[in-house]
Copies of this chain bind each other. A is one copy, B any other.
């Protein structure tokens, strides 16, 4: 989170970089081992004791104001009474001026909060993934600078004044008036803004066989949540005179070199849920997430949220494109593939404590995490600290929104003994997030996509947190 030593990428020796960031802890340098944990814990204890002693000494000696100043930077005055402390620089001088650059950046102390690529996962960095640092995020909004990325042929910063969106039918009867929109024209149309999660269908895909990656950034970080703004696709199709009775499918096509094409069921469009979106968290989409235009298909896996959207075609049958027949299919135990399993089922994960973090002391902690469902709203999240024997219901943070992340929190007093922390989400259809045993009984263990099993984090006696799977 904010350890000054940890600017820039910090990497494990093995195939995956580790994010050592934790909410409440001082992250050690390099890989987390028993020795470094003990050292960091001792430093933290000594630091706190020293600080409290000097702060309260100052409070007694110099009164409240001096004590308050001392909080910020308890450095004894040079050569003076050690109980009278110097003011830190930021309480003395002029700070930096307003609007230095017009668009602000995070603190220098947050340099280790990054989206990170997973080396070795794909052969090129143009067809790869960067994962959002879930262990360092709060609430439900993912800042645009940390939104996960998945590219099929790299990303582009397309000139929006030259970008166009075309609507047509696979035959002339399915759409009366083919239309071409400029961005200016789209942005004049009735606008809606909605909070939704977006999750790659392959999120948690590395965990099908067994424990593969150490941190929640890599197990669940192909997940983000934003306020999207755009035009309802239904509005555009009505303008163009689409035949909603015969045209039961829409093909969405992207303008980048991968020519991503996906079939969208007209049913989702008719509900008004599918957006042709230009805004994300208050500003224009970022280039790596489809600037200037992407499809938003709430509840459906990210690959259908076509980026750099240039064309929408109304058809009367599924299109069977490469990215829905060869890729993004589910290999079943009998060797067959399931296609068109696009809805992201109900899922949750504890983000703190999570793999790579360290609990420095026994005592009170706020267990926190995220829950979501592609079928609707989250109804309840249960949390276990004993590997699923006992469960308590977590507090859900309002507002609980449709097809949107829901933040949950639960009080926990850690007694210093090993613990296995899990969360289990239930959505408003009554669906309960499965265990690995339940998921594998149906799906086997050779899939890539659509792993929504319960995640387990082992807290060891030393306070280290590790990714484990219960048999």
| Chain A interface residues toward B at CB < 8 A | 1-4, 9, 23-26, 44, 48, 51-52, 55-56, 59, 64, 67-74, 88, 90-99, 102-110, 113-117, 124-126, 128-130, 136-147, 149, 151, 153-166, 168, 178, 180, 182-185, 187-194, 227-229, 253, 255-257, 259, 278-279, 281-284, 286-288, 291-292, 308, 310-311, 313, 360, 363-366, 368, 397, 399, 401, 407, 409, 411
A54 CB to nearest B CB, Å: 10
| Chain B residues, CB < 8 A from A67 | 166, 168
A354 CB to nearest B CB, Å: 14
* A98:B72 contact, CB within 8 angstroms: no
A130 to B106, CA, bound (A): 17
* B25:A256 contact, CB within 8 angstroms: no
Q: Which 7 A-B pairs have the closest CB atoms?
A: A95-B154, A97-B125, A102-B114, A71-B164, A138-B279, A139-B193, A99-B130
A2 to B292, CA, bound (A): 9
| Chain B residues, CB < 8 A from A110 | 283-284
A187 to B360, CA, bound (A): 13
* A180:B71 contact, CB within 8 angstroms: yes
- Among B24, B64, B88, B159, the residue within 8 A (CB) of A168 is B64
- Among B91, B107, B184, B365, the residue within 8 A (CB) of A44 is B184
Q: A91-B259, A286-B106 known; A399 and B397 CB under 8 Å?
A: no
Q: A72-B310, A98-B126, A192-B397 known; A138 and B282 CB under 8 Å?
A: yes
* A96:B24 contact, CB within 8 angstroms: no
* A126:B97 contact, CB within 8 angstroms: yes
* B72:A255 contact, CB within 8 angstroms: yes
Q: A71-B164, A72-B255, A227-B139 known; A155 and B105 CB under 8 Å?
A: no
| Chain B residues, CB < 8 A from A166 | 55, 67-68, 71
* B284:A107 contact, CB within 8 angstroms: yes
| Chain B residues, CB < 8 A from A399 | 399, 401
A242 CB to nearest B CB, Å: 16
A119 CB to nearest B CB, Å: 10
Q: A26-B184, A282-B138 known; A154 and B97 CB under 8 Å?
A: yes
A402 to B332, CA, bound (A): 47
* A164:B364 contact, CB within 8 angstroms: no
* A98:B4 contact, CB within 8 angstroms: no
Q: A51-B164, A98-B151 known; A146 and B107 CB under 8 Å?
A: no
* B366:A190 contact, CB within 8 angstroms: yes
26 pairs, CB–CB < 8 Å, chain A vs chain B: A2-B284, A9-B102, A64-B311, A67-B166, A71-B180, A91-B256, A97-B125, A97-B126, A97-B128, A99-B115, A99-B130, A102-B116, A103-B115, A106-B144, A106-B284, A107-B291, A108-B157, A109-B159, A139-B281, A141-B282, A143-B282, A146-B283, A188-B365, A191-B366, A191-B368, A192-B409
* B283:A184 contact, CB within 8 angstroms: no
A284 CB to nearest B CB, Å: 5
- Among B51, B141, B192, the residue within 8 A (CB) of A227 is B141
* B24:A188 contact, CB within 8 angstroms: yes
- CB nearest to A192 among chain B residues: B397
A74 to B161, CA, bound (A): 11
Q: A67-B166, A71-B310 are in contact. List 9 more A-B contacts (CB 8 A).
A: A24-B187, A71-B180, A72-B310, A88-B158, A90-B257, A105-B286, A143-B281, A146-B282, A188-B363
